[in-house]
Amino acid sequence: MASLLNPGFSSLPPETQRRVLYLRCLEETDGSASVIPLELRTAASRAADKETTDAAFLTTRAATLAAGLPATWQGKLSAATNKPDHPWLRWLPASLCASAFLIGWFTNELGPSRTINVLSFPILGLILWNLAVAIFSLVAHWKRKPVATRTTVPSGATPEERTDALFTIRWKSLQHLHLRAGFPLWLHLAAICLVTGIIAGMYSRGLTRAYSVTWESTFLAEPHVRALTRIFLGPASLVTGIPVPDPSRGSAAPWIHLWATTAALFIIIPRILLANMARSTRRETLARIDEDWHRETERCRRTSNPTPAVADIFPVHMDPASPARDAIRTIARHLWGPEVLAHFHPSIAYGNEEDASFPASSNPAHRILLFSFAATPEQDLHGTLAAHAATTPSPHCLAILDASSFEDRFAALPEYRNRTASRLAAWRKVLPPALPILMLDSHARQSPAEAARSLAATP
């Protein structure tokens, strides 16, 4: 997880965040590497490899990539980077707190009549409201779920349209996450400011004027009023040692002290606890964002390795067609660097799974097991083979499910999506949990760079 010792993507200024995100989207949609050649990507990763933090690495790498872009794409990058966000978002927290304080300052019963009604204190209603908010906040915190956001765009558009669409989706998703994570914290702080404003207003007016108390009610008699005030102000009386006065006469000073203490006990302190809980949730959200970018940083650092690597591809019970082979080569290059050499081994025949050997390649070693997604996964065959490959020493091991024949057979059927989900769940159940799985469907074959990035982004 990102920490204060390793500032991540969230610590970058908004302009830099947009630049880094736009270039990442461009790399994903530029599957043919015609806009950003793989050599430029590797050079940018090497230039940034000296940086010790993720934030510095992403900034330096983005600057190197931007300098090597064609002129037309540099203009698009500038337009996306310099596009202003909603300026009110920066001032929203401070505006909420200031407005709440001012509303509280003018919302109290210490008016020009110099008498206050003990039954109409605004704090009484706020206590009931804050009790409901506290219950709702706790339930929402316990039942909260990660926000699912769409991060891909339909195929068929031009590279410029796909890049712009993908950037727009992901940038709005980031803004939504920030707003969703920060808004509860801002509301709790605003509630604290509101009550603080009420208390400050009461004391400031009480310093310059003498107020007395009274009460008015159509339905309550004096014994009822006395009982209610003792119930609501009893805890504050125990804390301060000030007895609850008679509501029929006397100075308003003890009432102000007791109501202020009651507000601190039942509003300010609970809201501080809720604000701290919301702050922890916000920190977790930012950490998840930074963790995604940390995996992206580690992937880019791996591609900066100048030592050529070999990716051993082992087809299992199948012979991949040329489009699948080309896509796998591109995926390997985007995952492990442009110098990686994809070496396709002979297909492992049915029944020879236990005799299959996985020779060590050059350092570092990369290994890909290629299965047919149309095959029914079997634990004794596919599971045993994958477990053997995963335990053999190798820094990078990957399972690819070629869906070519599966799509040819079922893509036109209305239950295609359900079949795909069911079959994918069966494969995940058979293959080792630690083995990453990449689905080589039609979209992945058309956009192998995006498929490689999506795999690198999964924990």
Number of other CB atoms surrounding residue 76 within 10 Å: 17
Q: How far is CA 135 from CA 74, 130, 193, 237, in A?
A: 51, 9, 20, 25
pLDDT of residue 90: 72
pLDDT of residue 189: 92
Which DSSP category does 367 fall into?
E
Task: Specify whether the CB–CB gap between 27 and 33 falls below 8 A.
Answer: no
pLDDT of residue 421: 92
| Segment-wise mean pLDDT, segments of 10 residues, the chain, 459 residues | 69 91 88 83 90 93 93 88 69 87 75 64 73 75 56 62 87 86 88 89 82 75 83 90 82 86 90 91 89 86 72 89 90 79 86 64 71 91 81 72 92 91 93 89 84 65
- For residues 94-131, one letter each, b for 16 or more C-beta atoms within 10 angstroms of the residue's C-beta and e for the rest, the string is eebbeebbebbbeebbbeeeeebebbebbbbebbeebe
pLDDT of residue 394: 56
pLDDT of residue 122: 63
Question: What type of residue is 285?
Answer: T
pTM to 2 decimals? 0.67
The position carrying tokens 């207003």 is 201
Q: Residue 368: which of 311, 326, 406, 291 has the closest Cα?
A: 311
Helix (H) or strand (E) holding 115: strand 115-117
In CATH terms, 305-456 corresponds, of 3.10.450, 3.10.20, 1.20.1340, 3.40.50, to 3.40.50
Task: Specify whether the CB–CB gap between 194 and 100 falls below 8 A.
Answer: yes
User: Can you tell me the distance from the alpha carbon of 359 to that of 131, in angstroms, rounded to the nearest whole number?
Assistant: 65
Task: Specify whether the CB–CB gap between 191 and 130 falls below 8 A.
Answer: yes
Q: How far is CA 112 from CA 122, 252, 258, in A?
A: 17, 14, 21
Q: Residue 56: which of 10, 23, 7 has the closest Cα?
A: 7
Helix (H) or strand (E) holding 399: strand 396-402
